[in-house]
Structure 1
């Protein structure tokens, strides 16, 4: 069981998911000095237990090769019994430092690079020469051809934010033709790690620039609209990409470390794998996020009730009966202190009643230190707790709810990683380092909230 995968001695970067015959294959970029990335490889049949496989794609030994200094993000596709890997070759000594390279395999483990590499370079009629990476390939059944989406910069845009999603097309995965940009939004430097899929009767285009965003269209050549919010999570689920397993579209990203293992440190490239997120389309075209059923089933099979009667009310009014705790405080906060392991998976149903302003959880509380998960009428947020009062959140996500609406909350605190899933609608991930352990608090502010059916699972330490 491996909730947040990290290879021994390495860190997980960009994930490249691929589903084949009941197996979830995740290729990934280990954090490497000077960008000399290879493709790591893990596989699972249940999203819970991961087997490490040999590295799939490695930089060439030939210093003149297009991938001599790194094999960066790309994608995998199967066609006529052969697996095709399209990846970014990096060599800063070349006129085009980032190029599209190709390799093939018959077992997803042993790969043969294409002698024609690089197979695709920027067409300078439309694109700048230095940003040309992260190829995502899929078969466009409407057009009867393969499409490749590429992170690029549109040289026709006068504004510095020239990030775009370039398009190339092919009939056979061998001969490619570069086209004009599929999407050029003038909102970022580079639209990294593009991804595309169809759910229901809508197409979704994903891209990343610090945080993963998405656009929606009813047609591939139509207008791409932004939802609110147009993100799936925080910047701590980085460079997220998806696979379809025949039933669900599942999102994979990584949780970056913070410099110096300090809550105030800069976010670094690479870390642990985040928990997968299932994407659920809504009637308005937006996508909600839920924790896949595999994790909930495992949690319930390995959990025990959180004994609320053993918890200690610290302030406000509490009524506790069995697995049900009711906080009532119309003029301030109610806090219930519960002793929990340092690493745990908690599920609970929460019902805010009437005009409750906010409710949530206090995490790893020690003296004047700790953290606070807030769910109010507009958002879910994580902030450092202080006896002086609340400050600005570290991370937050928009979330709207109605009085008396039950929420199923799944809260995972695992080493320095925290992730919360709220009502099968929103998720939020972050890093917290201090304190390393402490008590858990249930709380509500200026209103009434019911916490019931709380179940908790103790977790093994974060690798």
Structure 2
């Protein structure tokens, strides 16, 4: 887990990740000041180390002397071995109300130089887009640049979060489009996609996967990552009945291509209470892998990098390995030829598996019998305090809850019951379902049939028992395994989850 920290509270903002020569390079904003673009590196995409900051706000009087916003780093298509960073800048003289896109160049991803001459910074023009503070919301939206070089057509495209000039003011958000007709020469065209529903389509991404083009964007109205698809890059773009890629809290997604897979990075917004005041903390969870199902719907899978963190594995096959927590007289645990059978015909019961766990990955094949309730309990103590993963397998609803006794109870406020995240999946009354849970520090992830359904960050509970619960139902578990995961860091708190350095990896090697 990666987060910003220092003497005063700060957060990471929008991110961009590039994979090059075996290293992940993370570029991100630092909030609330937005005064520089930070740079960190990682060999596994999960444990990050800060290196030389990439870019700072401009000098007083320059076009980007107020704030720096979202960036995108790609290889320079005209200069082999060099890199371009498109980034958003704001000017103090305009009170930050006009967004422009600038360019910086690098030969090694560590040393960056602004290009403040020629066509840069770019300004979004009429007639297709709002281009004056006298229009719409009285600020000019032209941010979150994303450069896409289509290998099939050769087209070079610069996408952005922009707004059309007509329609209801809060529904003008679109994906702006400029075509690079010659090196550093851009021609603005009609929007690549205009949903007609949202205030903005932030942090757009365009990519080709399994012979189909996908357009991805983040929507502030529901704080979720949405996507659309088309047969060619220029559309028209359609959406499925469920075009939400990740549940609420996951935002500002950016793709990263490695040698053999397409990854999705994004920050997660976590609400915390600091000195009696609610604040939002943003953290970078582990990436996910992008894939499609048989219908072409975009899906995310759990990151295979977790495989390298496994330090032990235990197989659970027999009822004697389970502890019946509440000793409900209607609860049973039975060994059957088809698997471990856990049932409670009346009331609730939790079955804890062997061990006391902090960081783990649990997997099993689950069959549901009866019409009652079931789910998992995670990091649970003897009093039943912990995480409850509620599963409605028939209707396809998963919800993660933090449920415990209140340490400072007052009258009816004896307990804490907090829904943390909910998401939907394709349910059925048949089964079986292949389920997987990853708990790695504050990060919790739930997958069903190979696709990630829940992805969240929470620090309510750090360790405890894990298992399953049933209420007027029965489950049959097959191939049940618990893997212990190595922590990439030793601290639990977000402010101390990584160490900092000012050296690039090759410089650090020279000092040893």
- Tell me the TM-score range normalised by the shorter chain: 0.7 to 0.9
Structure 2 counterpart of 1:285? 296
CA contact (8 A) 1:75 1:136 kept: yes
Query: CA 1:380/1:103 → structure 2, altered by over 3 Å: closer, same or farther?
Result: same
**In structure 2, what is the Cα distance between the partners aligned to 1:115 and 1:121?**
13
Greater CA drift, 286-295 or 312-321: 312-321
User: CA-atom RMSD, angstroms?
Assistant: 3.1
User: How big is the shift at 1:325?
Assistant: 4.0
Q: Out of 456, 468, 477, which is 1:430 matched to?
A: 456
The answer to whether the 8 A contact 2:15-2:29 is kept is yes
Q: Is the 8 A contact 2:375 2:391 kept in 1?
A: yes
Shift of 1:170: 0.6
1:145 aligns with 2:155: yes
Of 215-224 and 325-334, more deviation after overlay is shown by: 325-334
Cα distance, 1:143 vs. partner?
4.2
Tell me the equivalent position of 2:126. Answer: 124
- SS of match in other structure, 2:308: helix
- The answer to whether 1:175 aligns with 2:189 is no
Partner of 1:410: 437
Match of 1:350 among 365, 383, 389: 365
What is the TM-score when the length of structure 1 is the normalising length?
0.87
CA 1:284 to 1:381, structure 2 compared with 1: closer, same or farther past 3 Å?
same
Residue 171 of structure 1, CA deviation: 2.9
Q: Which residue of 2 aligns with 1:381?
A: 399
2:260 is aligned to 247
User: Could you tell me which residue of structure 2 aligns to residue 260 of structure 1?
Assistant: 273
**Range moving further from structure 2, 204-213 or 14-23:** 14-23
Q: Is the 8 A contact 1:318 1:334 kept in 2?
A: no
Question: Are residues 300 and 147 of structure 1, via their aligned partners in 2, closer, same or farther at CA, if it must alter by over 3 Å?
Answer: same
Q: Report the equivalent of 1:419.
A: 445
Q: CA deviation at 1:136?
A: 0.1
Q: Distance in 2 between matches of 1:254 and 1:132?
A: 21
Q: 2:237 corresponds to which residue?
A: 224
Q: Deviations over 1:137-162 (max 9, x none)?
A: 01124543310110011122235211
The corresponding residue for 1:396 is: 422
* CA-CA distance at 1:348 after TM superposition: 1.9
Aligned to 1:26: 26
Query: Residues 365 and 440 of structure 1 are in contact (CA less than 8 Å); yes or no, is this contact kept in structure 2?
Result: yes
Q: How far did residue 224 of structure 1 move?
A: 1.4
Unmatched tracts of structure 1, length 5 or more: none
Q: Which stretches in structure 2 are left out of the alignment for 5+ residues?
A: 133-139, 406-413, 498-512
Please tell me whether residue 54 in structure 1 is matched to residue 55 in structure 2.
Answer: no
Correspondence 1:88 to 2:85: no
Which deviations, in whole Å up to 9, do the C-alpha atoms of 1:351-372 show, x marking residues without a partner?
1234455432123445475431
SS in 2 for 1:176: strand
Contact 2:142–2:162 (Cα < 8 Å) also in 1: yes
Cα displacement (A) at 1:266: 5.4
TM-score, normalising length from structure 2? 0.80
Deviates more, 1:445-454 or 1:151-160: 445-454
Instruction: Give CA deviations for 1:338-392 in whole Å, capped at 9, x if unaligned.
Output: 5765731232213123445543212344547543112222122113437999988
1:109 aligns with 2:113: no
Q: Match for residue 5 of structure 1?
A: 2
SS at match of 1:317: strand
Q: Please say which of residues 331-340 and 124-133 is displaced more in the overlay.
A: 331-340
1:326 aligns with one of 338, 341, 346: 341
- Is 1:207 matched up with 2:217? yes
Distance 2:387 2:421 in 1: 12
> Is 16-25 or 185-194 further displaced after alignment?
16-25
Is the contact between residue 374 and residue 391 of structure 2 (CA under 8 Å) also seen in structure 1?
yes
Q: Distance in 1 between matches of 2:35 and 2:375?
A: 40
144-153 vs 109-118, which deviates more? Answer: 109-118
**CA–CA distance in 2 between the matches of 1:156 and 1:369?**
53
Structure showing greater Rg: 2
Quick one: distance in 1 between partners of 2:232 and 2:252?
24
Cα offset for 1:413?
4.9
CA distance in 2, matches of 1:243, 1:437: 32
